[in-house]
Amino acid sequence: MSKNLTTRDKDYSKWYNELVVKADLAENSGVRGCMVIKPYGFAIWERMQAELDRMFKETGHENAYFPLFIPKSYFSKEASHVDGFAKECAVVTHYRLKNSEDGDGIIVDPDAKLEEELIVRPTSETIIWDTYRKWVQSYRDLPLLINQWANVVRWEMRTRLFLRTAEFLWQEGHTAHATKEEAIAEAEQMMNVYADFSENYLAIPVVKGTKTESERFAGALETYCIEALMQDGKALQAGTSHFLGQNFAKAFDVKFAAKDGKLDFVWATSWGVSTRLMGALIMTHSDDKGLVLPPNLAPNQVVIVPIYRKDEEFEAVNKVALDLIKKLRAQGIRVKYDNRDTHKPGWKFNEYELKGVPVRIAIGPKDVEKGTVELARRDTFEKEFIDNKKVVDKVVALMKEIQEGLFTRATNYRTEHTTEVSTYEEFKSVLNTKGGFVLAHWDGTSETEERIKNETKATIRCIPLEGDKTPGACIITGKPSAQKVIFAKAY
């Protein structure tokens, strides 16, 4: 397996695009902007899904499924929502094909035009709130705590595998509550669930915060987010959780009778993460040799490669390998045994380096003699010979060590690339040299935010919820600022 990856230093963007394809994660399809997620990439996504799904259920949510299509009239009911999504909607207008009369092949049947066009969901607030109207009459019907795993379509003009695609996979939670306080608590809870998942499974440190008005979700009163920092100093929004107030309840007339009999509109949240997390995972940990995967999400945590020339050597090695696999699996370790005779060990070593398998174990005839195996770590490239009897304990310990090591490494990178500045000059200088998160005072206006964006391409990633809350003066206008906010160039 020849890798020839462009290095990150040379061209970070090219490195990413090549890695996604060469590590068999995804590729572009024949449909503009739509990707094919290949089995290895999908196996990682499945692990993300499994953990998130468990966390959602542990916080009381249930899954359901709502239609792919949204009638145009529904879509238009919440004004700021339609404004936010109208420019990127795939629209179904017909429901039949036919053979053209001039024998020119298959055409769209003009007689099969829909009375009302259907939008392929870019997000499901409208169709879901149209449904919730039927489900909610009284406070007894609340809260509704529902999640959906689904595909959505946003017609992006410039697309990149996982980071920005016309179709992507995600989950979208949509909850309904009797009080404002409960809805806000739910939105905050889900931000915390996302942060927990990101740090403990993806091994990606995140900053929790709220979005500025101009960066909020279309239709939200508050957008909570988790922001991560990639190795090229650019930020990536890894998940968002929205407090939607009563906007959708009003648009779809969803009212409930409180205990005292009074009617009020229902309070809402929505929250989502998508296959974009695959991009975050890749860009946070991987290196010039390929993918680096945290053990908690790696489809294969350990790969075992037998080394042999003669058949009797293979027999001896194979016996040791099979025994080890059994013991590792008994400990819940996900092991791949690559005993293919169509590929040489060196080729396999390269392949699993490229694919980011956390631990590689090689067993040769000399190892069998000595009762050892060779163990190599993907994250640090450390290799050691280790007593066969100690391998299982070592591997179990390594899973934790590697997981934590990746998180620490990413956290250190972020610390080194987080800079507090006091002046706009300093701000621009940091952005142009080391990049990363730049903490600065801001006067809270969209005008100042817009000016900084136009002049530097940096946006406010979030108003952090934790850390230093000292007030100060805006680096542009000198006007009062409640606390420093985080700026960065972003994906």
Residue from 48, 56, 131, 245 that binds its own copies (CB under 8 A)? 131
Counting contacts by CB under 8 A, is residue 158 touching its own copies? no
Other CB atoms within a 10 A radius of the CB of residue 239 amount to 27
User: If DSSP codes are grouped into helix, strand and coil, which group holds residue 459?
Assistant: strand
- Distance CA(7)–CA(288), nearest Å, equals 5
- Distance CA(270)–CA(292), nearest Å, equals 32
Counting contacts by CB under 8 A, is residue 134 touching its own copies? yes
Counting contacts by CB under 8 A, is residue 434 touching its own copies? no
CA distances from 52 to 67, 167, 335, 351, 461 (A): 22, 21, 23, 29, 24
Cβ closest to its own copies, residue 2 vs residue 432: 2
Residue from 9, 30, 58, 101 that binds its own copies (CB under 8 A)? 30
Counting contacts by CB under 8 A, is residue 303 touching its own copies? no
Counting contacts by CB under 8 A, is residue 71 touching its own copies? yes
- Distance CA(153)–CA(220), nearest Å, equals 20
Cβ closest to its own copies, residue 39 vs residue 346: 39
Residue from 78, 125, 130, 351 that binds its own copies (CB under 8 A)? 130
Counting contacts by CB under 8 A, is residue 329 touching its own copies? no
Sign for the CA dihedral angle at 80, 81, 82, 84 comes to positive
Q: How far is the CB of 83 from its own copies (least distance, A)?
A: 9
Residue from 19, 23, 136, 153 that binds its own copies (CB under 8 A)? 153
Q: How far is the CB of 122 from its own copies (least distance, A)?
A: 11
Residue from 1, 18, 55, 155 that binds its own copies (CB under 8 A)? 155
Stretch that binds its own copies, among 114-122, 320-328, 387-395, 432-440 (CB under 8 A): 114-122
| Amino acid present at 475 | I
Contacts for 90-93 with beta carbons within 8 Å, 24 or more apart?
A: 90/119, 90/120, 90/153, 90/155, 90/166, 91/117, 91/118, 91/119, 91/120, 92/117, 92/118, 92/119, 92/120, 93/117
Cβ closest to its own copies, residue 9 vs residue 341: 341
Cβ closest to its own copies, residue 157 vs residue 397: 157
CA distances from 18 to 13, 28, 289 (A): 9, 12, 11
Residues that bind its own copies (CB under 8 A): 27, 29-31, 34-39, 42-43, 45-46, 62-72, 74-76, 82, 86-99, 105-106, 108, 117-120, 127, 130-131, 134, 140, 146, 150-151, 153, 155, 167, 169, 342
